[in-house]
Amino acid sequence: MPYCRHRCSYCDFFSSAENHEFGRFAKRIAEETAQAAVWWQELAHSRVVDTVFFGGGTPSLLSVPWRAAILDALSRNLTWGEGVEVTLETNPETVDTAFVDSLLESGVNRLSLGVQSFSQEFLDRLDRRCRPESVFEATRLIRASGWKNWSLDLIMGIPGQSAEDLKEDLETALALEPTHMSVYTLTLKPGHILYKDLPDEDLSADLFELARDTLAANGFRQYEISNFAKPGFECRHNLLYWSGSDFLGLGPSAASRYFAGGVFHHRKQVADLNRYFSQKDVREVAFESTTREQAVLEAAFLELRKDDGIDCGDFRRRFGVDLRHGSRVGDLASDGLLETVGERLWLTDRGRLLADSVAPALVGA
Ligand code: SF4
């Protein structure tokens, strides 16, 4: 979804705060879906949909008819699997009674609410236009309508944010009783005005441990480095992504990936609205293939993010690489970064703090 009401200064996602053309966009997505579905079947050999994720941008700006038109195009051109999970990323200030009432009717069954912080000071620092009061009102409406499958997203590591500040955000979030929480570390590009004020490694590690321990004490399982869920409320879409499954992205700048021939094939749709609207054929933007080594590193990197880590037997079948029997596993285990039992291998709590360096070390990249 390429539109937002306002561009937040820290955000790296493609979106425009001007010239919102929702009807034109929904129509274009429907055309793109029809073309992409045929191409996708040739490449990835499947049209079965397990999950749909409306990401953005601000997908909750789409009014019901446009949202329904997009879901209709998906279900006409692709094969709907059993119990498809349909997530809509939602900004709190776009939630009202009509919005909540329309969700199930239009096929959405999971919400992801972008809160980031309950502190007006930190929201201002991130240049977000959302106010804490909108979050309380949005969650009141969501809960009053009996929704259970919803996530609340926070950001940690905002310049100036102390452990006490993060604890306050976590406790406020928990009081709203979400069944899923994402807690992401703020990342900024070097030229950003706040870049030099990002927390150092020690404070980042303290914040990470605080989030993990606070959420664990409240019944949330850290099923991925930044994601926590009550039992049964893990995001299936995210789990498929981290397991190396195929996904088809639609809309400007959307990424797609499929696995074939022992390597991944990636494609990023044009990150330009004019070019997107005038594109005649989705095949104008080709897939690019990784090397075998890049695919192994990508899979290890993604799968290690999950709490149940890597199934080495499955990894061997897909890539012909036996991770269990390399000397590197022994070294990483004796450094307290990895644990192994049988065919399974996963990061320890300490390993999660250093996840970005463990995957390359594991595959010898
Ligand atoms: S609302 Fe979300 S997607 Fe849009 S600019 Fe802000 S952070 Fe980025």
Boundary-marking domain end, from 199, 219, 241: 241
In a domain, 17, yes or no: no
In a domain, 308, yes or no: yes
In a domain, 14, yes or no: no
Same domain, 102 and 237: yes
Per-residue pLDDT tens over the stretch 286-295 = 999 999 999 9
* Residue having the nearest C-alpha atom to atom 5 of ligand 1: 7
CATH for 55 = 3.20.20.70
Same domain, 100 and 172: yes
In a domain, 252, yes or no: no
Pocket test residue of 1, 3, 4, 184 for ligand 1, highest count of atoms within 8 A of CB? 4
In a domain, 254, yes or no: no
Residue 14 has what pLDDT?
94
- Ligand 1 close to Cβ of residue 4 (< 6 A): yes
- The pLDDT of 265-276, averaged and rounded, is 97
Same domain, 150 and 212: yes
- Ligand 1 close to Cβ of residue 90 (< 6 A): no
Assess whether pLDDT exceeds 90 at residue 364.
no
In a domain, 95, yes or no: yes
- Ligand 1 close to Cβ of residue 11 (< 6 A): yes
Pocket test residue of 5, 7, 11 for ligand 1, highest count of atoms within 8 A of CB? 11
* Residue having the nearest C-alpha atom to atom 6 of ligand 1: 8
Same domain, 163 and 55: yes
In a domain, 200, yes or no: yes
In a domain, 325, yes or no: yes
* Enclosing domain of residue 92: 38-241
In the reported structure, the alpha carbon of residue 3 is separated from the centroid of ligand 1 by a whole-number distance in angstroms of 9
Q: How confident is the model at residue 325 (pLDDT cuts 50, 70, 90)?
A: confident
Q: How many domains does the chain have?
A: 2
In the reported structure, the alpha carbon of residue 155 is separated from the centroid of ligand 1 by a whole-number distance in angstroms of 13
- Ligand 1 close to Cβ of residue 13 (< 6 A): yes
Secondary structure of the chain in HEC code, one letter for each residue: CCECCCCCCCCCCCCECCCCCHHHHHHHHHHHHHHHHHHHHHHHCCCEEEEEEECCCCHHHCCHHHHHHHHHHHHHHCEEEEEEEEEEEECHHHCCHHHHHHHHHCCCCEEEEEEECCCHHHHHHCCCCCCHHHHHHHHHHHHHCCCCCEEEEEEECCCCCCHHHHHHHHHHHHHCCCCEEEEEECCCCCCCCCHHHCCCHHHHHHHHHHHHHHHHCCCCEEEECCEEECCCCCCHHHHHHHCCCCECCCCCCCEEEEEECCEEEEEECCCCHHHHHHCCCHHHCCCEECCHHHHHHHHHHHHCCECCCEEHHHHHHHHCCCCCCCHHHHHHHHCCCEEEECCEEEECHHHHHCHHHHHHHHHCC
pTM: 0.95
- Ligand 1 close to Cβ of residue 157 (< 6 A): no
Same domain, 298 and 234: no
Boundary-marking domain end, from 211, 241, 271: 241
Same domain, 305 and 235: no
Pocket test residue of 12, 15, 20, 182 for ligand 1, highest count of atoms within 8 A of CB? 15
Q: How confident is the model at residue 104 (pLDDT cuts 50, 70, 90)?
A: confident
Same domain, 62 and 158: yes
Per-residue pLDDT tens over the stretch 222-255 = 999 999 999 999 999 999 999 999 999 999 999 9
